[in-house]
Amino acid sequence: MIALLARDLKLAFRAGGGFGLGLGFFLILAVLVPLGVGPEPRTLALIAPGILWVGALLASLLSLDRIFALDFEDGSLDLLATAPIPLEGVVAIKALAHWITTGLPLVVAAPVLGVLLNLAPAAYGWLIVSLLIGTPALSVIGAFGAALTVGLKRGGLLLSLLVLPLYIPTLIYGAEVVIRGAVGLPVATPLLFLAGITAGSAALLPFAAALALRVNLR
């Protein structure tokens, strides 16, 4: 299992692995929004939590189809499915690798982009906390979507259509934490819901994803 995680990280960081693409996308989004909305600081501060969360969502969506598609094409997925580690574990590890290479950099970069969007000072801590708790759910849900579409030729677009609706609860609670944090309201309730979604997804979705992978491999 550790070997699989190490391999996936190595592949992501080597040339052509696509590491940093999501981060670059996140940055561009945070630049484009003020250009579209206008430089008014109050407006930007108002929409900053939502933009940052939607940006994180889309950035992690970008690299989802690589989770299984590459292994499917070169035959590794067949071999992993016949290997002595459970396919559910493979899914969980690959989701974790996706989070480390996509979600974690977003958490680190988000405060910097918060400055660009004039995020309220009180909200920075909650932005980091909510992304830290919420982005793993994005990776696990995304891994499930990637497992559903792995055999398809043009799975990328379909993948977004399938995965984005599943992201809705995470988005709502995640952004709500930041919005409430910005104005000093208690954040415990949305934060708990967010953590619940992440925990539930991480516990259950690998099984659904493994089922979908087995169907796609046969």
Partner 1 sequence: MDLTVTDLTVARGGVPILEGVGFALAPGAALVLRGPNGCGKTTLLRTLAGLQPALSGDISCPPEAIAYAGHADGLKAVLTVAENLEFWAAIHGTHGIDAALSAMNLNDLTDRQAQNLSAGQKRRLGLARLMVTGRPFWLLDEPTVSLDTASVALFGAVVRAHLATGGAALMASHIDLGLSEAAVLDLAPYRAAPRLPQGFDEAFA
Partner 2 sequence: MSTTSLWEYANPVKFMRLSGRVLPWFAGAAAVTLVAGLVWGFFFTPDDFRQGSTVKIIFLHVPAALVAINAWIMMLVASLIWLIRRHHVSALAAKAAAPIGAVMTVIGLFTGAVWGQPMWGTWWAWDPRLTAFLILFLFYLGYIALWSAIEDADTAADLTAVLCLVGTVFAVLSRYAAFFWSQGLHQGASLSLAPGTRMDWAYKAPLYVCMTGFSLLFIALLLAGTRTEIRARRSRALMVRERMYA
User: What are the residues binding partner 1 (CB under 8 A)?
Assistant: 2-4, 7, 10-11, 14-17, 71, 73-76, 78-85, 217-218
Residue appearing with tokens 């990280």: 9
| 8 Å CB contact between 97 and 12 | yes
> Should residue 216 be labelled a site residue for partner 2 when binding is judged by CB under 8 A?
yes
Site string for partner 2, 155-194 (x = CB under 8 A): x--x--xx-xxx-xx--xx--x------------xx--x-
Least Å from the CB of residue 87 to partner 2:
14
Residue 71 and residue 146 in contact, taking contact as beta carbons nearer than 8 Å: no
The partner in contact with residue 81, picked from partner 2, partner 1, none with C-beta cut-offs of 5 to 8 angstroms by kind, is partner 1
List, in order, residues 6 or more apart from 9 with CB less than 8 Å away. Answer: 97, 100, 101
* Nearer CB in complex with partner 1: 75/121: 75
Q: 49-82 burial by CB neighbour count: b if 16+ within 10 A, else e?
A: bbbbbbbbbbbbbbbbbbbbbbbbeeeebeebbe
Nearer to partner 2, 51 or 141 (CB): 141
165 binds, among partner 2, partner 1, none (CB under 5 to 8 A by kind): partner 2
